[in-house]
Amino acid sequence: MLALAVVAGACAGSGGSGGGAGESGGGGSEEVDRLYQEGLSWAKRAEAAPLPTPDPATVAGGSGGAFAAAPEFKPEELRAVESFEKALSAHPNHAGANLALGDLLAPHALRRLEAQRARDAAAKGRPRKGQARDAAVTLVPVSTVDASPERVIRVYQAALQADPGRTPADRLISFAVPAGRLDAAEAAHHELLLRVKERAEPYALYGDFLAMQKKDLDGAIDQYRQALIWKPDDEDTRRKLADIHLTRGVEYYGRQEFTRAVIEFKESEKYVTDRDSEQGRRLQTYLTRMKEIRR
């Protein structure tokens, strides 16, 4: 998804929509804008270009059963990176170039992270001395391009500072969460709340982030309630609130903390609109049990 976002960045840069990227070149030289557009053109070509293949000279036989992997970047991607970097060297605050560079590097950064996690997991399960090992070893080519998560976050943050729209915040969140950089993602959520006003969506998104990523259910409840102020009939948000309170109530019930359980069940009941739903039936089951306990 992040790879395809380069196209959206291109459209935003040329049309002035999509988070203000079209205004990013304002005040920049014609050469900077030419380099930016050149980078977008190479990034677009990269989408249709075939995947890189290993150098034939390094594949055959290898020593010790080793074999080569394909280069990480397509030639077109390298040209795009070069153009964006030249533009940013002359105009570091160019929102469009920062955003497009982040979009191009983000998939590579995530793949590197995933590969590192796989290596770490494999290292924990390494065979003991004397046990068989895999005969083949992959020789991964070293890329000179800095596609670290830290760099991706930096360029997205630079775009965020230069572009008053929501697009850079959305991009930063979509990268930082799978990258495990939750502090950067949370800061972007705060920025999104400031930029998208009087709408339920940013509050609901932040609530989802707090509930699923930070495990902060109290914070999520606050954000979901804010979302309902702007969209009271949002069934999805109501369902999430009902589920949080119901789950808490069930936990208290299991610990025989009945006073606290009934409070949570009553809160859950406020947000359940369909008593015949699975959630509604489950809630009614526990409310009935609470009535029996009180007798």
The predicted structure's pLDDT at residue 14: 36
Out of 3.40.1160.10, 1.25.40.10, 2.70.98.60, 1.10.3720.10, the CATH code matching 5-112+145-195 is 1.25.40.10
Percent of the chain with pLDDT over 70: 80
The predicted structure's pLDDT at residue 226: 98
Tokens of residue 130, six digits: 């004397």
**What's 201-294's CATH class?**
mainly alpha
Sorting pLDDT into bands at 50, 70 and 90, what band is 294?
Answer: confident
The predicted structure's pLDDT at residue 197: 94
pLDDT tens for each residue of 61-80: 554 555 567 889 999 999 99
Give the whole-angstrom CA distance, residue 138 versus residue 287: 59
The predicted structure's pLDDT at residue 11: 41
More confident of the two residues 171 and 12: 171
pLDDT at 206 over 90: yes
The predicted structure's pLDDT at residue 135: 42
Q: CB within 8 A of 151, min separation 6: which ones?
A: 105, 109
pLDDT at 193 over 80: yes
Q: Residue 77's closest CA among 38, 104, 102, 103? A: 104
Q: Cβ distance 176 to 163 under 8 Å?
A: no
Mean pLDDT of 283-287: 95
The predicted structure's pLDDT at residue 54: 84
Mean pLDDT of 102-109: 98
- Determine if the pTM surpasses 0.85: no
Tokens of residue 179, six digits: 């990258």
The predicted structure's pLDDT at residue 222: 98
The predicted structure's pLDDT at residue 42: 98
More confident of the two residues 9 and 103: 103
pLDDT tens for each residue of 240-273: 999 999 999 999 999 999 999 999 999 999 999 9
Mean pLDDT of 274-279: 94
pLDDT tens for each residue of 221-240: 999 999 999 999 999 999 99
Give the whole-angstrom CA distance, residue 268 versus residue 165: 36
Sorting pLDDT into bands at 50, 70 and 90, what band is 26?
Answer: very low
The predicted structure's pLDDT at residue 27: 41
- Cα-based distances in Å from 6 to 43, 162, 171, 174, 182: 7, 18, 11, 14, 23
Residues of the chain with CATH 1.25.40.10: 5-112+145-195
Give the least confident one: 112-121, 146-155, 157-166. 112-121
The predicted structure's pLDDT at residue 18: 37
pLDDT at 25 over 80: no
The predicted structure's pLDDT at residue 126: 67
pLDDT at 22 over 50: no
